[in-house]
Amino acid sequence: MERQQCIEVIYPELEDKLVVTIMGACAQELYDLGHRDNFFYLQHAMGLASSIGLGLATHLPDERVIVLDGDGSVLMNLGTLTTLARYRPKNLIHIIFDNGSLLSTGGFDSQTTAGITDLAAIARGAGVEHVAVATTALQFGEAVLEAFERDDLSVIVAKVLAVGPDNYGMDLHLPENAFRFKRYIREKGSL
């Protein structure tokens, strides 16, 4: 399964959700499907996408927040799983694309390569009750559907191939992304 397939599967559902992605391939693949002002691309600060998601979900209980994370990023901030478990925002879905690779920085193996480290087990051990693992697009779609129906914190670990887009580039400055994302939330809140 490729990450891009997974993002395509959920893309229609993201129209009215607050989405935070990590850097590199994941951000590019979402952007290439069509940027929306409710998408925030964290192009650096690896590990903090889920922390941004927690800050959003805690303060916007009526919004649905989706974090698109990666194994390399999560490994840089494993404590985030314990903080998510402790505060358990019901409106947060944390999707971790596990390609066992630091793909965007040269394709070096990460600690999850060949199943050495099990991120789903780490999430469960951190205290997250609803953790799913998907190895096919069908399983991924089902896991996301269940997470949307569930009114509780969900972590989905999607095992994907270490492949990314051929070309990188966005017509969007980083502060512009932040300004528009914030404005989207403010305008939606005032409707």
Partner 1 sequence: MPVSYENSKAVFEGIKAAGIRSISALPETWLGLLLQRAEDDPEVDLIQVAKEEEAIGIATGAYFAGEPHLLLMQNHGFLAAINGVVSLAQLYGIPLCMLIALRGHWGEPYPWHTRGGIVTEEVLRALSIPFEYARDPGRVATQISEAYTFSQSSLSPVALLLTRDLMED
C-beta atoms surrounding 93 within 10 Å:
27
45 binds partner 1 (CB under 8 A): yes
3-state SS, residue 127: coil
Is residue 18 within 8 A of residue 185, CB to CB? The reply is yes
Tell which one of 106, 115, 171, 186 touches partner 1 (CB under 8 A): 186
87 binds partner 1 (CB under 8 A): yes
155/157 Cα distance (integer angstroms): 7
Q: Put residue 189 in one of left, alpha, beta given phi > 0 → left and psi -120 to 50 → alpha.
A: alpha
153 binds partner 1 (CB under 8 A): no
**Residue 49 identity (one-letter amino acid):** A
123 binds partner 1 (CB under 8 A): no
44 binds partner 1 (CB under 8 A): yes
List the x/- string, 8-37, binding to partner 1 by CB under 8 A. Answer: ----------x-------------------
Tell which one of 15, 16, 34, 58 touches partner 1 (CB under 8 A): 58
75 binds partner 1 (CB under 8 A): no
47 binds partner 1 (CB under 8 A): yes
Is residue 154 within 8 A of residue 132, CB to CB? The reply is yes
Tell which one of 34, 59, 135, 136 touches partner 1 (CB under 8 A): 59
